């Protein structure tokens, strides 16, 4: 407990899944959290419940592809809490069954805007507050799709770009004690993925491809984000934390 005392965190894509798990865990560990998502009703519902339980979490509707929305979010965090120490760029979309020929240019641009441009904007706008505080931590939730192929051209390209954006910003911002790292989940059941196949089918698929023989859960990703957000990882920047049950170890 209290691994994030006195820290202020912005968590995107927090209406459910990994984002909600990260926001809840950070609050439990002492952070004050601004949770954001474009799915306003889902976000407001769980945050209201968490507030009733005493959690220091606020919410804001947020289209992460919009620079205007990003200004609103960062301004709200600073107005509420005075600073931003931690940014979790978690929001993303996964176009199911996409191929090169079936992906329109508009679809391609939408995926890249939400999955990678949003991380660029968020870090750009949070960096000044982090500099003024003497440092901070940015965690980009990428994917093993940014390391290996087979997940559709737009999604794979966006996650690979997010991976290298992380490393570039880690080098650039290190002199300000701002650390930038990425997490690369493998198979994890979230609202973004659980409609694609049944739990039984997912588990059967993963038994054949995952050395640990099971699907991951959102808390396993949240604890990775907690480590990278906390001062425990003070000498870690530009790294990619792969949490995939060993899929990419083959």
> Residue 40 has what pLDDT?
97
35: helix, strand or coil: strand
Instruction: Please determine, for residue 213, whether its predicted confidence score (pLDDT) is greater than 90.
Output: no
Where does the pLDDT of residue 202 fall: very low under 50, low under 70, confident under 90, or very high at 90 and above? low
Whole-angstrom distance, CA of residue 82 vs CA of residue 217: 33
Element (H, E) at 229: helix 218-229
Whole-angstrom distance, CA of residue 219 vs CA of residue 222: 5
Write out pLDDT tens, residues 35-72. 999 999 999 999 999 999 999 999 999 999 999 999 99
Which listed residue (81, 94, 155, 235) is catalytic?
Answer: 155
> Residue 13 has what pLDDT?
98
Q: 117 or 209: whose pLDDT is higher?
A: 117
Identify whether the C-beta of residue 247 lies closer than 8 Å to the C-beta of residue 191.
no
Give Dmax over CA atoms of the chain in angstroms.
50
Instruction: Please determine, for residue 188, whether its predicted confidence score (pLDDT) is greater than 90.
Output: no
Instruction: Please determine, for residue 100, whether its predicted confidence score (pLDDT) is greater than 60.
Output: yes
Catalytic residue list contains 235: no
Nearest to 248 by CA among 181, 149, 165: 149
Lowest mean pLDDT: which of 73-87, 97-111, 120-134?
A: 97-111
What is the rounded average pLDDT for all residues in the chain? 93
Q: How many residues does the chain have?
A: 250
What residues contact residue 134 under an 8 Å CB cut-off, 6+ apart?
A: 177
Element (H, E) at 204: helix 199-209
R_g (Cα) of the chain, nearest Å:
17
Whole-angstrom distance, CA of residue 196 vs CA of residue 214: 17
Identify whether the C-beta of residue 184 lies closer than 8 Å to the C-beta of residue 241.
yes
> Residue 96 has what pLDDT?
79
> Residue 203 has what pLDDT?
63
Identify whether the C-beta of residue 178 lies closer than 8 Å to the C-beta of residue 236.
no
Tell me the domain boundaries of the chain: 8-189+217-244
Whole-angstrom distance, CA of residue 60 vs CA of residue 54: 18
- Segment 84-93 shows an average pLDDT of 98
- Segment 73-89 shows an average pLDDT of 98
Instruction: Please determine, for residue 176, whether its predicted confidence score (pLDDT) is greater than 70.
Output: yes
- Segment 153-163 shows an average pLDDT of 97
Element (H, E) at 129: helix 118-133
Element (H, E) at 142: none
Q: Residues 47, 70, 129, 12: is their CA dihedral positive or negative?
A: positive
Say which CATH class 8-189+217-244 falls into.
alpha beta
Q: Which residues of 78-113 are buried (b: 16+ CB within 10 A; e: fewer)?
A: beebebbbbbbbbbbbbbeebeeeebeeeebebbbb
**pTM of this prediction?**
0.94
């Amino acid at each position: 407990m209290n691994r994030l005392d006195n820290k202020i965190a912005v968590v995107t894509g927090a209406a459910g899944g990994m984002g909600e798990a990260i926001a809840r865990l950070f609050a439990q560990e002492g952070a004050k959290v601004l949770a954001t998502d474009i799915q306003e009703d889902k976000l407001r519902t769980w945050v209201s419940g968490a507030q009733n339980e005493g959690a220091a979490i606020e919410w804001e509707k947020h289209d992460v592809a919009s620079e205007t929305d990003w200004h609103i979010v960062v301004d709200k965090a600073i107005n509420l809490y005075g600073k931003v120490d931690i940014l979790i760029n978690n929001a993303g979309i996964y176009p199911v069954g996409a191929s090169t020929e079936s992906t329109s240019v508009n679809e391609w641009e939408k995926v890249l805007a939400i999955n990678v441009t949003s991380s660029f904007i968020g870090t750009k706008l949070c960096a000044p507050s982090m500099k003024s505080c003497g440092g901070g931590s940015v965690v980009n939730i990428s994917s093993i799709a940014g390391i290996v192929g087979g997940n559709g051209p737009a999604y794979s390209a966006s996650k690979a770009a997010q991976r290298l954006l992380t490393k570039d910003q880690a080098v650039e911002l290190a002199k300000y004690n701002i650390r930038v790292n990425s997490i690369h989940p493998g198979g994890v059941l979230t609202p973004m993925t659980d409609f694609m196949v049944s739990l039984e089918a997912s588990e059967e698929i993963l038994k054949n491809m995952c050395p640990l023989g099971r699907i991951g859960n959102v808390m396993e990703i949240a604890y990775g984000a907690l480590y990278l957000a906390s001062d425990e990882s003070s000498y870690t920047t530009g790294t990619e934390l792969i949490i995939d049950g060993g899929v990419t170890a083959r």
